[in-house]
């Protein structure tokens, strides 16, 4: 059922015509701000803050922000069992990525790990940068 939702949304956008694309882009600030709020709230109460996840932000100078968001979506998807708000965060990040050529979630290569708490802190910083820049530019 969840895979049919993006298909339905895409169909609605196509049926609505060219004006719908502008509407979707205008939702980015709302999605970003909501995602920042979710991450900020989770940082205070995350039940699995000590859980280890792949540290996608380490050495991230070679990745653009869109790639980081896509990889973050994969980590969030894998960790949804840990906290109920992660599902909403995953849906927001996925919606943000729908306007790019990358499809969430992206594969994440194994590497160094970090705590979920630090991952959320780094994700919070990335989302704030995106709000300042208005959209994701490489």
Domain segments of the chain as ranges: 28-133
Does an H or E element contain 41, and which?
Answer: helix 28-45
C-alpha dihedral sign at 32, 97, 81, 4: positive
Are the C-beta atoms of residues 74 and 97 closer than 8 Å to each other? no
CATH number of the domain at 28-133, please?
A: 1.20.1250.10
Per-position pLDDT tens, the chain of length 138: 444 444 444 433 333 333 333 333 456 778 788 888 888 777 666 667 678 899 998 876 778 888 899 999 999 998 888 877 888 888 888 888 876 666 667 888 888 899 988 898 999 999 888 888 765 554
Q: Which helix (H) or strand (E) holds 74?
A: helix 65-78
pTM (two decimals): 0.68
Residue position matching structure tokens 């991952």: 119
Beta bridge partners, 54, equal 113
Give me the phi and psi of 53, to 5 degrees please. Answer: -135, 160
């Amino acid at each position: 059922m969840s895979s049919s939702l993006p298909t339905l949304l895409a169909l609605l956008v196509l049926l609505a015509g060219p004006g719908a694309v502008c509407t979707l882009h205008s939702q980015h600030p709302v999605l970003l701000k909501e995602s920042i709020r979710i991450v900020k709230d989770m940082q205070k109460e995350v039940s699995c803050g000590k859980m280890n996840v792949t540290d996608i932000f380490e050495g991230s100078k070679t990745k653009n922000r869109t790639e980081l968001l896509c990889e973050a979506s994969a980590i969030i998807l894998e960790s949804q069992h840990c906290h109920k708000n992660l599902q909403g965060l995953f849906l927001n990040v996925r919606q943000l990525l729908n306007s790019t050529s990358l499809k969430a979630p992206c594969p994440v290569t194994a590497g160094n790990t970090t705590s979920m708490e630090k991952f959320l802190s780094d994700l919070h910083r990335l989302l704030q940068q995106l709000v300042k820049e208005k959209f994701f530019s490489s």
